[in-house]
Structure 1
Amino acid sequence: MNIDALASFVKIAELRSLSAAAKLYGLPKSTLSLRLKQLEADLNVALFERSGRNLLLTEAGQTLLKHARQILQNCDAARAAVSEVSEDVAGTLRIGATGEFGTAFYAQMLIAFRRLYPNVEIELTFFSPNVLYAAESFDTLDAVISWDEGDGEGEALSTATFALFASSSYVERFGQPQQPADLADHQGIVYRTPAGLQHWRLQKGAAQESVLPRSSLIANDYWTVKYFAVAGEGIAYLPRFFTAIECERGHLVPLLDDWASAERRVSIRLTRPHAPSRKMSAFMDVCRRYFSPGFVFQGPRYYVEAIFDPTQPKEGKRT
């Protein structure tokens, strides 16, 4: 049984589409199709049946998928074991995460790792929280990075606090709130979590407030929430690290400086903590250094910049 064909089969099964798998993994669709046909011929079974635009696994396909994942994991383990006897850190590192801050957080940390260990292949996959810890997802990964809600599992990498931000144009039009009670007079941009709308949970010393603002803009993507804030559409509740560049460049301003959320823990969980590979140990070391005081990230950083806003001709930079 061909390993490349098995790997292609798993990719197609996960995305339920030849076209989507070809696009995501940068492989010719014809190559994936040929490998699939060869695998079906080798096993003398049909592995998929078509339902509209999707490919659904047959009973034989479902059975093979379970074994294929295990076979591929064993192959990776064999490669890792061989690489252990050499000086190079190599192999494939599979990281799972929830996708709140993909480019501003996970991607930067992985690039910092790649600069030191270029022979390691990286697969970063974003899952919804209810899927991330499911056995069929968790068992295919080397580690999971998450923004915990107090479950206390894994090693803490860092902490982050949320606060309130708006564009200077919004503040000029509607004024700056002086206390949480003033937020009732303002327009919010609200993030939708899988459990519902996200309340703005703020504290100052012993005082605590939970605010759900009036809003006509709701999104389940923090980048979209931040874009709407930079565009002057309202106040956003965002992590301070996530707005640092926008604040430095004047595209956002912090509000209610003394009020912020409780610290949220960012952690990493190893799926095989008792036997970490050399590449996993190297990754953990880089993660710890990435969040240590004084670390300077050398690589591209993403942010929202108001280059041109036709409704505010004096604000922003023209190019």
Structure 2
Amino acid sequence: MRLPDFEAWAMFAAVVEHRSFTDAAKALSVSKATVSKAVTRLEEHLDTSLFNRTSRRLALTESGKRLADHAHRIMAEGQAAEEAARDETAELSGVVRLGAPMTFGLLRIAPLVAEFTRDNPQVDVDLHLSDAHIDIVEMGLDATIRIADMPDSSLRARRLADVTLHLVASPAYLNARGRPQHPSDLGGHDCLCYSNVTTPDIWRFAGPGHQNVAVQVRSRITVNSGEAMLPALRLGVGIARLPDFIVGDALAAGELEEILVDWRSPPYGLHLVTPPSRLRPARVEALLDFIIRRHGC
């Protein structure tokens, strides 16, 4: 029986993570030729190309995309096994690569990362903030925070909390345009829509008597950042649906008002998403446990 070429799988995972043979070689402290030969060896053994290579660009093939998750898992489990064999009292060290939505990451995750790195001086954190849907395996992330309905996938997702959406507008807008009394009234109003969802202009509500209503709204501004809606909201441009961590302060200050309080949009889940493997390096496990304990959502 031929054993798997674990070194080649690990080097393939490093190239995927760093998106470069050169950078992968630096991270692994080996030559670029060593990494290239290992990946070529793996391609020959699998009888498939893993990368499309040009002088300016390196991209995974379809086979490479399918196998990248396996490579990442092999790498992570190998690191976890080595750390498990070490003295359990050893100080945590190494890099943790974590993703999070932009505004939530700035307000809720960045302070936790700061506290964690202060208390663990040998751990470095690479925090990637983006509201775009990202492939955590292709990005080389150890975990990411997502606020979304999670589709079925090979990823592991732990729901940490519900994120409630508030329907809000400025007092000036409501005084000028009137206050909607029912979700169907929203069709006659100007709205601000979040684009990183499947149907930005379809708003769904559940209300009294188990009623469910879907309304198509007119979007004056469509944007991929909820926080970017705040200036337009304050100026009375329209109505928006936003979570508490974005509009909470504006509501408390009276800059915005919540409307249709008896009607609620289905909450999104706040999820901690990780690759399929249950084994993770101790530094990753420690940071994720810290976030779970302290997420404050």
* Cα separation, partners in 2 of 1:119 and 1:218, compared to 1, 3 Å: same
Match of 1:185 among 162, 185, 188: 188
Structure 2 residue matching 1:217: 3-state secondary structure: strand
Stretches of structure 1 lacking an aligned partner (at least 5 in a row): 1-6, 22-31, 294-319
Q: Distance in 2 between matches of 1:141 and 1:269?
A: 10
Summarize the Cα distance change of 1:221–1:58 in structure 2 as closer, same or farther, 3 Å threshold: closer
Aligned partners of 1:84 and 1:270: how far apart in 2? 25
Once the two structures are superposed, what CA deviation does each residue of 1:90-121 show, in whole Å capped at 9, x if it has no partner?
A: 22111234557432344344334334434321
Aligned residue for 1:232?
A: 236
SS in 2 for 1:276: coil
The Cα offsets for residues 10-55 of structure 1, whole Å up to 9 and x where unpaired, read as 65649xxx9xx9xxxxxxxxxx9xx9xx8579989xx9755xxx65
State the AA in 2 paired with 1:210.
A
Higher relative contact order (CA 8 A, sep 6+): 2
2:144 corresponds in structure 1 to 144
SS of the residue 1:247 aligns to: helix
Query: CA 1:88/1:69 → structure 2, altered by over 3 Å: closer, same or farther?
Result: same
Compare 102-111 and 170-179 and name the one that shifted more.
102-111
CA distance in 2, matches of 1:74, 1:291: 26
Report the alpha carbon displacement of residue 284 of structure 1 after superposing the two structures with TM: 2.9
Cα distance in 2 between the residues matched to 1:166 and 1:83? 56
Q: Residue 154 of structure 1: SS of its match in structure 2?
A: strand
How far apart are 1:246 and its partner, in Å?
1.8
Residue 212 of structure 2 is aligned to residue 211 of structure 1: no
Q: Is contact 1:226–1:236 with CA below 8 Å preserved after alignment?
A: no
| Residue deviations 1:44-101 (CA, integer Å, cap 9, x gap) | 9xx9755xxx655799xx9xxx8x9899869966985687544423221112345574
Change (3 A) 1:58 1:111: closer
Residue type of the alignment partner of 1:233: V
Q: Distance in 2 between matches of 1:212 and 1:117?
A: 49
**Aligned match of 1:311:** none
Match of 1:259 in 2: 263
Change (3 A) 1:100 1:72: same
Contact preservation (8 Å) 1:163, 1:202: no
Structure 2, gaps ≥5 residues long? 1-13, 38-51
Could you tell me which residue of structure 2 aligns to residue 281 of structure 1? 285
Query: Closer, same or farther in 2 for the Cα pair 1:210/1:226, shift >3 Å?
Result: farther
- Please show how residues 74-85 of structure 1 align to structure 2 within 5 Å: 85=88
**Equivalences, count:** 262
1:94 to 93, 97, 107: 97
TM alignment of 1:3-14, pairs within 5 A? 11=18, 13=20
Q: 1:260: Cα distance to partner?
A: 1.6
Residue 13 to residue 275, structure 1, CA distance change in 2 (3 Å): closer
Task: For 1:143, give the aligned amino acid.
Answer: A
